[in-house]
Amino acid sequence: MQKLQIHFLGGSGTVTGSKFYLHTDEIKILVDCGFFQGAKELRKQNWESLPIQVSEIDVVLLTHGHLDHCGYLPLLVKQGFRGKILGTEPTLEIARIILEDSAKIQEEEAERANTEGYSKHHPALPLYTQKDVAFCLRLFESIEEGEINTLSENCTARYHYNGHIIGSTYIEINLFDKVFVFSGDVGRQEDELLRPPKQPEWADYLFVESTYGDRLHPEEDVEAILDNLVDRAIEERGVLIIPSFAVERLQSLMYQLWKLYKRNTIPNIPIFVDSPMGINVLKVFEHFPEWHKLPSTEYRNMQNRITLVGSYGETWETIDDPRPKIVIAGSGMVTGGRVLTYIQQLGDLESTTILLVGYQAEETRGRKLLEGASELKIFGKLIPIKAEIHHLESLSAHADQKELLEWMGTIKNIPEKVFLIHGEPPAMETYQHKIVEKFGWKCHIPKLNEIVELYL
């Protein structure tokens, strides 16, 4: 009999910072290595070393390349990790783009804080640098979706397509003849760009996200909403600002707007995409056509219709452009990136519209806007908000409660335990009741830094 310890180092009681550590005498595995976002108390943990022997970790398995699943990797390496970091080829490419961008933003914000003197820390420092990221990338090793990978004598791992973003998977770990399934972030059954997620057939222990475990996505007429907001921007001679996640959401929005323009539903209004990371992700879509369903001709036509903003100088040129316009800029929860500059300069105008797309975590600026904030703190200063705020939830890249239950519904056995992860407490508790009601399975909601022991 083998003892397994599972350390819930992130993504537990929260939607960010996903890190799940499987510790046995034979092999030590970290599933995802995410960055904490949102609440200050969570973000503080990014500055702390993990409460494990990092140098003992043999391998990191990445479900996908979002910051809350890969953003802590450079810090893991700084703390002594020297094993392999495994993911699908597009996941590793997305992770590279996101980590390089994250380091660049941190360096720029630290420099700005030191110059303007608004940080409590003297000097303000980035969590990690672009050099740290470059060192971390040496450990990346790609694997094929669907193939069995031998990690040790009694452990294999297999990655399965699960939608959400390009390259995203759920991971099936066979450890001492027990099957551990980590859902990652499960995608939608119907998505503009991605195919429906594959579904697990067996799970002795299931670790499933619960971001939308307490709700269904509303049935919104996305095209009509976008059409109305574009009309408002034209009538008010204002700007429609869409904060967007750089991976999948940004490309999906581009495609939606391109389709509206192609059908003459919206006029030839200037559309700017100001996200260096999002622009780089477009190249990933081009390089990995087998991972999505956007035809190459549509991809090229869409790009030709939209202005891609490269430099920060071009950001200011876009702001100063007096024409009514649409600006899609990172980040999706307004936690950083170029969108902060647009809101800082244009958020106090009644002619401005801000369209939030998808999930907004607790205490992020995006959540505060949804809750009616009259001002936001940006770059150390309070900025009044007079812009009109809208929310489109149906474009979320996460499965809702119904879709999650359907995703789990193909499991043929009765799991020994279901662990609910990657969700806020109300969503987890509601989803737990639904699982018990529908399947009768035993569920556990782990706390942050909790350790669960199993005997295999």
Query: Are both 280 and 144 inside the same structural domain?
Result: no
Query: Are both 259 and 187 inside the same structural domain?
Result: no
Query: Are both 8 and 58 inside the same structural domain?
Result: yes
- Tally of structural domains, the chain: 2
| Long-range contacts at 38-47 (CB < 8 A, ≥ 24 apart) | 38/14, 38/333, 38/335, 38/361, 38/362, 38/363, 38/364, 38/367, 39/14, 39/362, 39/363, 40/363, 42/14, 42/16, 42/17, 45/10, 45/17, 46/17, 46/72, 46/75, 46/127, 47/127
pLDDT digits (tens, 9 = 90+) for 325-359: 999 998 888 988 899 999 999 999 999 999 999 78
Q: Residue 105: which of 85, 133, 80 has the closest Cα? A: 133
Torsion sign, CA atoms 375, 373, 332, 34: positive
Relative to beta strand 417-421, strand 443-444 is parallel
CATH for 429: 3.60.15.10
Query: Are both 185 and 278 inside the same structural domain?
Result: no
In this prediction, residues 305-330 reach a mean pLDDT of: 93
The CA distance from 79 to 42, in Å, is 19
Residues shown for the chain = 456
- Looking at 372, 392, 412, which one is the last position of a domain? 392
pLDDT at 69 over 90: yes
Q: Helix, strand, coil proportions of the chain in percent (round to 5)?
A: 35, 25, 45
CATH for 367: 3.40.50.10890
In this prediction, residues 212-241 reach a mean pLDDT of: 94
Query: Are both 295 and 326 inside the same structural domain?
Result: yes
Query: Are both 99 and 175 inside the same structural domain?
Result: yes
Contacting residues for 343 by C-beta, under 8 A, at least 6 apart: 241, 334, 354, 376, 378, 383, 385, 387
pLDDT at 241 over 80: yes
Query: Are both 176 and 134 inside the same structural domain?
Result: yes
pTM: 0.89
Start-to-end C-alpha separation, the chain = 6
- Looking at 370, 392, 414, which one is the last position of a domain? 392
Look up residue 337 and give its two tokens.
Answer: 């990136």
Mean pLDDT, the chain, whole residue set: 93
Q: pLDDT band for 30, please (50, 70, 90 cuts).
A: very high
Task: Point out which residues pair with 10 in neighbouring strands.
Answer: 19
The CA distance from 106 to 124, in Å, is 10
Write the Ramachandran bin of 264: left for phi over 0, alpha for psi from -120 to 50, otherwise beta. left
Query: Are both 267 and 416 inside the same structural domain?
Result: no
Its domain, for residue 169, covers: 3-215+397-455
pLDDT digits (tens, 9 = 90+) for 89-105: 999 999 999 999 899 88
Query: Are both 444 and 401 inside the same structural domain?
Result: yes
In this prediction, residues 270-288 reach a mean pLDDT of: 88
Query: Are both 84 and 152 inside the same structural domain?
Result: yes
- Looking at 356, 376, 392, which one is the last position of a domain? 392
Contacting residues for 433 by C-beta, under 8 A, at least 6 apart: none
Look up residue 413 and give its two tokens.
Answer: 């056995």
Look up residue 310 and give its two tokens.
Answer: 């490269």
The secondary structure of 41-78 as a DSSP string is: HHHGGGGSPPSS-GGG--EEE-S---HHHHTTHHHHHH
Tally of CB atoms within 10 A around 295: 10
Q: pLDDT band for 396, please (50, 70, 90 cuts).
A: confident
Query: Are both 183 and 321 inside the same structural domain?
Result: no
The CA distance from 113 to 120, in Å, is 9
* Listed range (37-46, 199-208, 398-407) with the worst mean pLDDT: 37-46
The CA distance from 88 to 95, in Å, is 10
